[in-house]
Amino acid sequence: MGGEIDDLSRAEAASLLGWWLDAGVDTAVSEQPRDWLKPGKAPVAPTLEPDAAAPMPDTLAAFQAWLQSAPGLPLDQAGARRIMPHGSAEADIMLVSEFPAREDAADDRPIGGAAWQLMIRMLAAIGVPEDAAYSSSLACFHLPAAKLDAEALGRCAELMRHHITLVAPKRLLLLGDAPARALTGQPLAAARGRVHRIEGVRGVATFHPRYLLARPADKALAWRDLLLLTDEELS
């Protein structure tokens, strides 16, 4: 047995010593017994907070670049993936959707996959081509099972209102409950069916296309919302 130990390489010896240290064998002799079952303290990751006093960029291009790298934005956590807005800066309509889902992250878009294909058809039904829409999400991170608390929702609303002023669209379409709550102060069920003024822009709240794929019977209700958005007499 002694020969086997003598034959340990330097790397093997270092690995063995490392195991002993991890196991708590950090001294040759100890006067006090060691509590082997006592849980250790979990490491605490540093929290990066945005500078609340710093003004947000005042051009769309600069704001988009800021969203790409700014720390401490809502849902900015380990494992979260940033999903940036896309579309023309001169878009007629701005889409504000709930935070991205897995299929959105796969396309690197606020709305992706089959939901985006349905969104294109919804826009086409009211005469809006795909390239005339600017797509954004309330929080620009994909995080599985993510939820926004009241503080994060308020911060998202602040960021989105600034985003809206920079895009300056003619119309806003709020897709889902979270955007409705953040920008109208009401849940989607109460916000639907009427026109809202958000930073001076005419807006309507309706179902996210992801929801409509799961519940196609509600497409008729979404169609009424789209018609409300385009009713110039109510502008």
Helices (H), 57-149: 60-69, 102-107, 113-125
pLDDT tens series, the chain, 235 aa:
444 444 556 655 555 455 444 444 455 444 555 554 555 544 333 334 444 446 899 999 999 999 998 888 888 877 788 889 999 988 999 999 988 877 777 778 899 999 999 999 999 999 999 999 999 999 888 767 667 788 989 999 999 999 999 999 999 999 999 999 999 999 999 999 999 999 999 999 999 999 999 999 999 999 999 999 988 544 4
In this predicted structure, what is the pLDDT of residue 37? 55
Q: CA-to-CA distance for 131 and 208, rounded, in angstroms?
A: 19
In this predicted structure, what is the pLDDT of residue 231? 81
Q: CA-to-CA distance for 153 and 182, rounded, in angstroms?
A: 6
Q: Is residue 27 included in any domain, yes or no?
A: no
In this predicted structure, what is the pLDDT of residue 33? 56
Q: Is residue 66 included in any domain, yes or no?
A: yes
In this predicted structure, what is the pLDDT of residue 3? 47
Q: Is residue 28 included in any domain, yes or no?
A: no
90 SS3 class: coil
Q: Could you tell me the maximum CA-CA distance found in the chain, to the nearest angstrom?
A: 94
The number of distinct structural domains making up the chain is: 1
In this predicted structure, what is the pLDDT of residue 47? 39
In this predicted structure, what is the pLDDT of residue 99? 81
Q: Is residue 18 included in any domain, yes or no?
A: no
In this predicted structure, what is the pLDDT of residue 26? 52
Q: Is residue 190 included in any domain, yes or no?
A: yes
Q: CA-to-CA distance for 3 and 21, rounded, in angstroms?
A: 24
Instruction: List the CATH number of the domain containing 134.
Output: 3.40.470.10
Q: Is residue 3 included in any domain, yes or no?
A: no
Domain that holds residue 194: 60-234
Q: Is residue 229 within 8 Å of 127, Cβ to Cβ?
A: no
Q: Is residue 175 included in any domain, yes or no?
A: yes
In this predicted structure, what is the pLDDT of residue 178? 93
